[in-house]
Structures are given as C-alpha cells and as structure tokens.
Amino acid sequence: MITRKKPMILAGSDVEGLGGKLSITNPANGSLISELRMASAEQVDLAFEKATAAIRKNDWFARPPHERASVLFRTAELMLERKDELAHLQTSENGKTLKESLGQVSAAAGIIRYFASVCETVEGETPPPRGPYLSVTTYEPLGVVAAITPWNSLLTMAAQKLAPALAAGNAVILKPSELTTLVSIELARAFVDAGLPEGLLSVLPGDSSTGEAIINHPDLAMVSFTGGTNAGRAIASAVAGRFIPTILELGGKSPTIVFADADLDKAAADVSSAIFGSGGQSCVAGSRLFVEKSIYDDFLDRLVAVSKKLNVGPPLEDASNIGPMASEAQRARIEGYVDLAKKEGGRILLGGTRPDTDDCRDGAYYLPTIIDGLDHSSAVCQEEIFGSVLVALPFTTEDDLVTQANDTVFGLACGIWSRDLTKAWRIAGAIKAGTVWINTYKQLSIAAPFGGYKESGLGREKGIQGLRAYQQAKSIYLGGLGG
C-alpha cells in the first residue's frame, strides 16, 4: 500500500517543497487532486550537493553488481505490490484508462527487472593480447544524471531512465511533468523503500524554471529527456557548450502504410489502435496514414467503422477505450489543429468534436478524428498534434510513398501492412525511422534500442545500449608482460 508522505523526495528523504504552488487537477472531471509546493532553487542545489556527495562516496557503484541488482529487483516487487495505487494515481493525473495504467505498472516493473539483470550480468571487456601488455575496458558512472519525463506515460518513461541510470552507478535527479508529479514521487519511493542509498535519487516537482535550474547546474553530468522537440532543442543548446552527454527522445509524426495486398480488416484495427490508443498521446502514434490509391476509399470505410466502436469515457470505467486528453490545454491544442484542417480544405470523416454525453461533459474529452483531403504540406500533416487526430492520404507508387513518408522533420516510427514481406522489408529499409513495424504496431521490447532519426531525437534508450548510455568507457593497459 502507498502511504502518503511529504510531496517531494530530496536525496531519498521526504520533504516539503519551498518554491511556488503547483495545482494538480484530474482531466476526467476538472477536480483538484492536490496542491503542493515546487522545489526551490536552494532545494535544487541541495539535491545536487547530496547526489555529488553520494557519488564521491562511491559506495553504490563499488558494491558488487548483484547487490545493486537486488535493490532494483526489490523495487520491481514493491511496484507490483502497490500496483493498484500507482495505476489509480497515474490515471487520476493524466487521464489514461485504468486498464492501461495497470498494464504500465507491470511494464515498468519489467523494465526495472531487465536492467537489474543487465547490471548483474554485463561486464567490461578484456581484449586478446596484441603485444607485451594486457588491456581491460571498464565502464564507470557519469555522475549526477537529470531525468526529465513527460506526462503521457510516466511510469514506463521514468522506469526506462531511472533503472539504467542507477544500475550504471549514477545518482539521478528526476524532474517530472507538472501533470504527473504525484505518481512520479510514488514511483521513486519504491526505489527508496527498496534500499537505494541516501542521496542517489531526488524527485523535484516544478515548472520550466525548475527544469532550467537542473539543466544549468554545474554538477550536472548527463541529461535524459523525453518530450517535445522544441524543449529538447533548448536542452541541447543549454548543455552543448559543456559537452554533457544527452539522450533526447522527442516528437513524431509517424506514418502508417497500407498496401492493397494487406489483410485490410486487420490493418484497419491496427491503424486505429496505432493512432487512437492512449488518445493519440503517444510519441509513436501513427498519425499519418498512407493508403494505396486502389483501395483508398474501401480502407477508409473499414477504418471509420472500426474506430466508431471506440468508447470515449471516464477512465475508471471498464467500457472506456479512451479517457480524456491529459489537460484542457491539450484538448484546446487538438481543437485548434482540427479547425485549421477544416480551413485548409480537410474533410472530417469521423469525430472532429467533443463527446456530448453527460459523463464526459466536465472533462477534457475529444472524439477520435479522421481527416482526409489535405495536401501533405499542410500544417496538420507536418506538425505533431499529440492527440486523437489521423490524417489520411493516398499513394500510387513506392517512390511516391517513400517520398511522402520521409517528407517530415521527424523520424521516430512507422507501420507497414502488406502480405508481400519482401516489399514490406524493402519499404522498411527506405523509411527514415528508428522503429518500423510490419503487420503490427506498438510491439515494444525493453531489450531493443529505441529512439529516432532527425528531429525525433538523439541517442537510444532500452537494451544494453540503454545501460551503456549512462556510463563512460575507460581502457586500462598493463605493460611489462613480455619478459
């Protein structure tokens, strides 16, 4: 069970914030969940001071790998013991359906277990001798890492930053989105309760000024950020002069591609899930649909029919497939893009408005929306909306398809549906994206590196690469072995 404590974790201890007020509301009904104080500038400095002291003490990294791993394994166990509470907390803060939040608790625990196993089993390297010396490559922690997380999938996003950073021997300062502060604190508390040493983890609630104080702190050794491209660009600029390693997992405008030879019913179900799952509030949401011209009308009819069956409603109800958008501001952003699409000549094939049911009236709900008739150069086709909006476009040839699909500043993900696997594989190779799915979508493995091309990001999370990203390599040579 989760026991409510003070609303901030500083160096592993529960404290009160000393900064400005932060109000947290439930997007499902507009009610106030909590009011708390943000971290002050002095508390940011203290978190770095404690983290730096913990790193210098070297007790955590000096422990045998199995001892560090045991803390992570225990963290995963505690998360599962607190599964219901964590899931309800995330749902109340960002509007995800409860069943999705429950799944994300399990997924986050799995991420932490994976990195515990990697910590326990992955070692340095000893290359074969090439002369009268022995060389060894070791991997050391970077120091104090800033982990900055978004509001859309806090549990999994935070887990895939905290677990590898801590497994690699670092200290972490977590700056969560203002919208998902409470669940971030409770997730971190599982690490603390599992026995993580003092000083190695802080959760500092706050706004953009808090983030800036963290990013600009002189003791910062690395940044791992997931969020919007503009914010990522600002972070990269802020740390570039100090040569600080950075992982940026940013925006997307991912194409989904349906060929005439595909299983059209399966493709329609998958495409609908690719964009409307999580209310479209996913970095890999398949927000641009390209359909072979010969089946364009038929496929859109199937897609509309499938998507009409999605139930938008209160996230705690089992019948709800989609909850509210994460905030009123996010819904307003979506509505602005839909209005722009109409002005640019787009046709609304589905949705394009708020639901009119009584149980959705007070929340930030929006119906799944499908638009066609737009030129691919339009803002709605080019800019990330981050909501339940899909734009559909026809294509004629493979060259036409690849040109349009790659005509974007983003390159995060792509989905392809075709029974011709040779063709699908060829198209997958031509698409500039970090992840490509064929005849499926959103199938993710913590063991597979994840990240984007172009303005979708820098670096990779997950997998063994995801651990090494939080370490620096050192080669040591021992000479005088030739006699």
* Residues annotated catalytic, as ranges: 161, 249, 283, 461
H or E segment at 171? Answer: strand 171-175
Give the whole-angstrom CA distance, residue 326 versus residue 96. 8
3-class SS at 50? helix
**Are 259 and 400 contacting, i.e. CB atoms less than 8 angstroms apart?**
no
Amino acid at residue number 139: Y
Does residue 61 sit in helix, strand or coil? helix
Q: Which of 94, 88, 78, 72 is nearest to 162 (CA)?
A: 72
Three-state secondary structure call for residue 95: coil
Strands 471-479 and 220-226: unpaired
CA atoms within 13 Å, Cβ hemisphere of 416: 23
Paired residues of 34 in beta bridges: 24
Strand partners of residue 172:
145, 201
Query: Tokens at residue 441, please?
Result: 């979508």
Q: At what angle do helices 296-308 and 264-276 cross, to 10 degrees?
A: 60
Amino acid at 211: G
